[in-house]
Every structure is written in structure tokens, then in C-alpha cells.
Chain A
Amino acid sequence: MTLFDIIFQGTSDALSAAKSVVEKAVADKGKEHKVAFPDTAYSLPVIYAATGKKISNLGELQEAIAIVESLLVKEQRLENGLNAGLGTALAAEIIEAAKYSVEEAPYVAPLAGHISDPIIRSLGVPLVTGDIPGVAVVLGECPDAETAAKVIKDYQSKGLLTFLVGKVIDQATEANVKMGLDLRVIPLGYDVTSVIHVVSVAVRAALIFGGLEPGNLDGLLKYTLERVPAFVNAFGPLSELVVSAGAGAIALGFPVITDQDVMEVPTRLITQKDYDKFVATSLEARNIKIKITEIPIPVSFAAAFEGERIRKGD
């Protein structure tokens, strides 16, 4: 399969998943049932920023599926691949929104799920000052817990904000990686679609800090490319859906670094099999330069540990 066909397949998968999830929600709750993420003024932020449309009930959510369909043009061209990736992102937001609409608490601690506006506002200053030099999205499954911990702790020690999606969350737990917003390691959820909650952060950064006009898709993509220093690490076997989501990341300007064999795209989609070099490869791909003064002490030292609480047991 061509790279674009893999992406198109992933988008189709996301599309049909979104359709069935929303269909079921409508069947259970009716079209008028409320749809909203908690603590946000931006409705469904990705859809709102990309199209300017606010969605408030399941009927409107169902209509939004047409936007995803319109982004799926199966001609083999870069723009279609990137658009399909964006389509997957929108489909993911639709699925996640349906979760929040139907379930009382779709995510329970330590899983974060949707990130609220106040948290994004609190992240704004350190992002602008470079105190948070980058945003790492780590998803999938590392070969072992040790590798997962090494990569995540490395980002943590460099002050990056790291979001976890999928089995890597369990691996991090297993390896005793301490998580939480204060520690700049945030487990989002186990479903691939929960990755949208970090995209939502980037998108709201454009709306809040970039003063982006909702519906200005080109402006959004320019802002995220130039101003949001995020990248994706995709570990383990990649489903079509994950690749398609990766295309969405690339459309936003976020490179994807994976340990799997893929059709590489210079600076955008990179295979790195050496886990020891994963962090360095990622930082270079996103052009994140960190000035480090190494202090030879036996424990990790970084701003990310500022909010750490030492419990009795420790």
C-alpha cells in the first residue's frame, strides 16, 4: 500500500468509527442531547478552529461528520494525505466528544482526557518563555517499560511537556514514572482518539495566545507549525488509524518519529530504531534546542520536578 493509501484507509476507519459512535449516541440520547467538553470556551476546539463552527448537541455532531468526509479525497497527493490526516483528527474529536456526551466521566485519574482552558492558560507563559521548550506526544507501546521510562524521563529532565497515549501509560506506571501536570507528564487515555486532547491544546493555544480567527484553517496550520514546538513519538506496530493521525500531526507541522519501518518523509516522518537516540532525533526534527547546564548530581534535576510531592512512602 502506498503511504497515502495507508493514510486514506486510516481516515476511512476513523470516519466509520465516528459514524457508528455518534449514531449510537443519537439512538441512546437523541439529537438534542448536549455535547461539550468540560471547562472550555471553544466548543469542540479542533472543529471550531478549523471550521468556525460551534457544536452543542449530538445532531450537530452528526452533521460534522460531513466535514471529515469532505477531507477524504483519495487522489495520491500530499495535500490529500495531509487533509485526510486532519480528517482523522476531526473524527477523533467527534468520537471523544461523543464519549463526553454520553458518559458521566469518560476519563478517571490518572487519565486526563480533555484538558481544560485554565490549564492551557497556565501553560501559556512557560511555553512562550521557553521554560517548556517543547511538547512531546508519546503514543503506542515501547518494547519494554524501561525504554518507555528512559524516553519519558529524558523529556521530563529537559523540561518538555509530555503527553502519553496508549499502552505506554501502563509502561510508565510500571517503571515508576511519576506523572501529573506539575511533573509535565500527562497520561491522556488508552484509545488512539484520545490523542486529540493534546491537539486540542495546540489549537486552543492558537486561539488564545495567537488571536486566531476561528475558521482560518491556513492560519491555524501556520501558527501550530511556527509557534507550537510539538512532535510525536509513535512506538510499536502502527495501525492505519495511527498513521493517519500522524498525517494530521504532520499537517499541523509536528514531525512524527517512530521505531517502525515506514515510508520516510525527510524532516516530517522519520524512522529511528535506536532508542538511545530517540529523544535527540525528535528534538532535532522539531528544531528544539535546549541550553543545558549539566549539574553532576545523582538525581534528575529540572523545572519539571518543581511541583513534586515527596510522600511518606518515598
Chain B
Amino acid sequence: MEKTLLSIEQMEEINSLLKQKAVEAGAETWQDRKEAQKVSCKFGEEGVCCRICSMGPCRITPKAPRGICGANADTIAARNFARMVAAGAAAHSDHARDIAHVLHMSSENGSYKVKDKDKLYKLAGEWGVSTEGKDLYDVAHEVAEVALMEFGKPFGTLRFLDRAVDGRKETWEKEKVAPRAIDREIATIMHSTHIGCTAEAESLVRMGIRTGLSDGWGGSMIGTELTDILFGTPTPTQTESNLGVLEEDMVNIVLHGHDPSLSEMIVLASEDAELVAYAKEKGAKGINLAGLCCTANEVTMRHGVKMAGNFLQQENAVLTGAVEAVIVDVQCIFPAMAALADCFHTKFITTSPKAKIPGATHIEFDEHHAFDSAKGIVKEAIDNYANRDRAKVYIPDSKQTAMAGYSIEAIIKQLDLVTNSHVDKTGTVKPLADCIVSGVLRGAVGIVGCNNPKVRPDYSHIEIIKNMIANDVIVVATGCAAQAAAKAGLLDKEARNLAGQGLRTVCELVDIPPVLHMGSCVDISRIILLVNAVAKHLNMDIPKLPVVGIAPEWMSEKAVAIGNYVIGSGIDTFLGVYPQVTGSAEMVDLLTNRVEDIVGAKFTVEMDPAKLSEQVLERIEAKRTALGI
């Protein structure tokens, strides 16, 4: 039987009904603001507008090929691009830093505990932190300190680089892109892009890769590792996705943002007997938690919390009129949510001093009293249940079942199912490598990234995923791409029936869906490590593998940082939206061509998902041909 997917047309129909609710409520949405922006400025679009000093702003035209300082289009576009990398790396790093601090404050009886002791001890071993005869929490605190040093240590390069396959380490060393301390790389970019500093585009591209790598093999990887230690390494779990997960007669709380140190506590608070009783007292049947964006990914990976949707769905959640509170922390939160929430009874609650938004209810999350703090926030939501205007409620009757929780550890455990105990060791990626080498699977792609109003939301994600699996290419997904897959129904095990015979057979034997949800955007570090593990198993460098990264609808600077560390890791990256560098032929050549000579992988940009899919499949087959497999 074929899995019935939710089609893009059905999604759009629901969206237009919700848009109608916005019109009725006099509320503005991203569609209105996109419209109001008219045609975007060509200079910004092409990356040739510079405003890094007060002699400017300068812009490059045929008549004015240089800015006042003499910077040409190449310099300006390269600087702008590098700063995007720096901002993206900074966002992931600060996220990770918070988690490291939380690990440092973990204690036996506190809100934050060590949940995955094995992973902690493994990391302690890797980092040379002695564990013998030591209290668990002393080990945790020491590991946290080592992690925190990675952000600003004065000498050496990042510890996690040691995890890489030899070919990568050699390349990074040789090309001088091995990241040192995380914050240092970000600061260096800000320095070098200052007026009168680096003007050479290639040099800035290399810095971008190094800074990107400080994210992927630094900030993000630390974030993921320590989050697993604190909150548990994800295991396969069933969940539901799309706005239909909101409940008519429950207190609906939507979690939005990124940092699991908040969301984990909100999950606990929403299950707290006292608060559940309180919700019932207020006339609700209980508390219903749903996630948006990467926070949704974090809590669904570990607790199966339902997913309301991805980036461009955040306003839709409010438009249902059924959400008592949207609780947010940091990153990818529309500031417009405050004004939008005002049109409904929804409380828009900011919690982080790093992301205050005018018009929001700010309840600062106190990590030192995390559980109580979270309870206070949840109580605010319950108190708001009585204010729901039933006449305004429209919960779309649309949800799909989905599997999530595929950490590397979980994937390897599934792969153990197909080992032969008389031949194979368990706990390795050999079965995956075998399937790829034999050609049963043609390759693997990671589909990541955001939504972007420049392209039809979710269309590219879904089309590309469908094309990949139909051609026996296994897909791993994170972030809003994974959420798009979940909404469509592609994370369900039954979706294997949409796959080619090779992938379908693998899915049946390994008992997995054809698209594996590997987590949030910092969890792209999991993808990198999985690819790295396959490379190590096959004793070859990553660029040789038939593996590709795709960001079909990318939007944020974080996505730019991710793209840089993905190519830095030796994985070709396909983008469905043009980076703002097209005003510089040099930059286009560097990113889509010459960078391959440096790190063994490059960017390809293609806005048409069908064509992009074709190119990805061609690239995968070309890599196979080169390997003779």
C-alpha cells in the first residue's frame, strides 16, 4: 500500500484558510511583509553593497567599480559573505556555550542532571578527563570546563578535529583551515572584514570555511554532545506533525526557538501533576505541548513531543486561535510574532536576555532554578486558557505520523539488526557502507535548512526528498527540512513504499523510514560524524563518498555557516536559493568551483528542485564511477 502524503497543494490550501483568519483578525503575516518589500534591492541581492564604515554606504555599479576605500565587488561580496558565516557560527556557538554552562551547573538534585552517563564518560575519555574514583558530577563539570575552553583557548586547534578521518585532518592542516578557538574564528572574521583589512576574496572564503568548521566541528558538535549527555541520546520514537496536533480542549503551548535547556524544562513542567491539575481546574482537559523549528526537533527527538511545524509555519500556529502561549528563546523567531499574538488571546513569551522582542511578555528563564522557572512560564499559559475566543479557533484537521530520534547511536543500533553474528562486529556503520559500496543504496544525502519566501515553502524540500528516495538514495534530515518531511508524511515507516527497491529493501530489513530525522540544526554535526564514520570504515577521505548535502530553502546566516562546514568537511553542497554574492564573478567562481581545490567539495546553486535533484543524482553517480562502485 502506498503511503498517502500530504501534498504541497493541500498544505497550501490550509495555509490560505489560515491566512483568511489573519485577514479577519486584522493581523499581518510574512506574506504581507514580503509583498510590502516589493522587489529587493539589487545591490544587496548581489552582495555588492557595503556599509562597514561611515564613508559609505558604497555600492558597486559599472560606473563605480570600487567603493570609497577601493574595495571592489569581489572584496565586498566576500566580506559580506564571511560575516554571514561569522554570524551563523556565533549563533550555534552561543547556543552550545549555554549548554556547556548548563552541564557545568548540573547536579545530583538539581533541575539539570546527567542522563547519558556513558556518553559523558566516553567524551571524558576522549578529552583526557580522568574519571577514576570521581563523582559523576565532578566529571561532568570538568568536561564542561574543557568544552568551555574550546570557545576561547589561546593555543592549538579544536579537540573534535581529532575525530576526523585522516584525509580531512591533512587537508585542513595543509590548507590552513583547521579552526582554533571558536570565538576566535568569529572575531577574526569580524576583524578581517573591517575596513582596510582583508581585501582578497579567496582569503575570506578560506576564513569562512575555517569559521564554519569551528561551528560544525566545534560549537554545533559540542552542543549536540552535551545536550545528549544532559537530556539523553535520542532513540527512535513515534510522533505527530503539523498543526492538527493542536487540541481543541487542552491548553496548547507552542515551544519555539532552539535551546533545549529551556524546552526540556518546559516538557517536564507540562507533565507536572500539579500543573496538569491546575489546567483541569481551569476547564481544560490537560496541557498539550507542541514544538516549532529546532526546539521542536530537540524535544521530539528525545520525548516524541509533537511538532506543529517549521519556520514559515510559526505565525500559522497563532492564527489557529488555539494557542495559549508561544514560548520562545533564541534564533529564527519572527519579531512580528508579538504584534500577531496581540490580535489573538495568545501570549507571546520571550525568555532569553539574548533575544528580547518589543511587545512580548518577557519572563526571563532562570537556569539556576530551571524547573520552577519553567513551571511559572507554563502557569502563565494555563491562566490564559480562559481567554481563548472559541469563535476564532480553526485547527486544521491535518497531521501525519512520523518517526524521529535517529541519533548516530540509534542508527547504528538499527544497523546491528542486519549484521551476522558470525561475521560482523555490532556497533559499526559497516552495513551502511556495504549497502552503499554494493550499490543497493546509490548514496546518501543530508537535507537541511530553513524555509524561504523566495521559493514555494516546503515544495523543494518535499520534491527533492521524494526524488532522492525514489532513486535509492537514503535521506537524513534535520531542522526545518526534517519538519517539512514530517508534515508531508515522509518520516513515516510506510513512506518506504515511495522508495526505490534498493532503499525500500534496506528500510524493511533495518526497520527504518526512508528519511531519517537526525535532529535540530546543531545536530547536523551528527550527519557529519556519520559520514566521517563511513569514510573511516572505508578508509577513504570524505570527498570520495557518494554523499551530498542539500539546503533547498535556506534562509539564515546559520545555514551559511553550515554550508561552509559541510563543504569544509568534504561534502558537495547544493543550494536552492542563491547566496548574496552574485555581483562578484570571483566569488561565484570561488564557491562553485575553485573551493573544490581547497577542500574537495563545492557549492552548486539550482532553484528548480527537479533540476537540482537531477544534478545531485549525477554527482552521486559520478562519485561512484570514480570509485568504481
Contacts and interface: CB of A to CB of B under 8 A. Distances in A.
A270 interface: yes
B418 A266 contact: yes
A277 B422 CA distance: 6
B440 A265 contact: yes
Interface stretch (B243-251, B271-279, B345-353, B500-508): B500-508
Contacts of B509: 266-267
Given A2-B628, A2-B629, A4-B439, A267 B420 contact: yes
A1 interface: yes
A70 B177 CA distance: 53
A78 B501 contact: yes
Interface string A272-296: 1010010011001100000000000
Interface stretch (B373-381, B429-437, B567-575): B429-437
Interface string A62-97: 000000000000001111011000000000000000
A265 B628 contact: no
A77 B472 contact: yes
Interface string B414-427: 01001111110000
A266 B431 contact: yes
A144 interface: no
B428 to A, nearest CB: 11
Nearest to B629: A2
**B423, B442, B629 pick with most chain A CB within 10 angstroms:** B423
B487 interface: no
Given A77-B472, A77-B500, A78-B501, A285 B420 contact: yes
Contacts of A3: 437-439, 629
Contacts of A1: 628
Contacts of A4: 439
B180 interface: no
Contacts of B19: none
Interface in B585-629: 621, 624, 628-629
Contacts of B431: 266
Given A77-B501, A266-B509, A281 B628 contact: no
A281 B442 contact: no
A37 B419 CA distance: 40
B422 A265 contact: no
Contacts of A191: none
A243 B439 CA distance: 15
A41 B500 CA distance: 37
Contact of A280 (B422, B437, B438, B442): B422
B508 to A, nearest CB: 10
Interface string B183-205: 00000000000000000000000
**A77, A274, A285 pick with most chain B CB within 10 angstroms:** A77
A277 B423 CA distance: 8
Given A3-B438, A266-B434, A78 B500 contact: yes
A263 interface: yes
Contacts of A77: 439, 442, 472, 500-502
A237 B454 CA distance: 57
Contacts of B500: 77-79
Interface string B475-513: 000000000000000000000000011100100010000
B626 to A, nearest CB: 12
Contacts of B435: 265-266
Interface residues of A, number: 25
A156 interface: no
Contacts of A304: none
A222 to B, nearest CB: 13
Contacts of A281: 420, 422-423
A270 B421 CA distance: 11
B502 A78 contact: yes
Contacts of B418: 266-267
**B415, B472, B502 pick with most chain A CB within 10 angstroms:** B502
Contacts of A82: 501
A77 B628 CA distance: 15
Given A2-B628, A264-B434, A267-B418, A78 B423 contact: no
Given A263-B629, A265-B434, A272 B440 contact: no
A272 B434 contact: no
**A2, A277, A280, A284 pick with most chain B CB within 10 angstroms:** A2
A274 B422 CA distance: 9
A76 B437 contact: no
Nearest to A76: B439
Contacts of A241: none
A285 B423 CA distance: 10
A193 interface: no
B438 A265 contact: yes
B616 to A, nearest CB: 16
A267 to B, nearest CB: 5
Contacts of A148: none
Contacts of A274: 422
A269 B509 CA distance: 14
Given A271-B423, A281-B420, A78 B440 contact: yes
B419 to A, nearest CB: 7
B420 A263 contact: no
Nearest to A81: B439
B629 A272 contact: no
Contact of A270 (B423, B439, B621): B423
A78 B472 contact: yes
A274 B420 CA distance: 13
Contacts of B621: 76
Nearest to A4: B439
Given A263-B629, A280-B422, A284-B422, A2 B440 contact: no
Interface in B392-415: 415
A280 B421 CA distance: 9
A195 B331 CA distance: 64
**A270, A272, A274 pick with most chain B CB within 10 angstroms:** A270
Interface of B: 415, 418-423, 431, 434-435, 437-440, 442, 472, 500-502, 505, 509, 621, 624, 628-629
28 contacts: A1-B628, A3-B438, A4-B439, A78-B439, A78-B440, A78-B472, A78-B500, A78-B501, A78-B505, A263-B438, A264-B434, A264-B437, A265-B435, A265-B438, A266-B418, A266-B431, A266-B434, A267-B418, A267-B420, A269-B438, A270-B420, A270-B423, A271-B423, A272-B420, A280-B422, A281-B420, A281-B422, A284-B421
Given A2-B439, A78-B472, 7 more contacts: A2-B629, A4-B439, A78-B440, A78-B500, A81-B439, A265-B435, A280-B422
5 shortest A-B CB distances, which residue pairs?
A: A78-B502, A266-B418, A281-B422, A263-B438, A266-B431
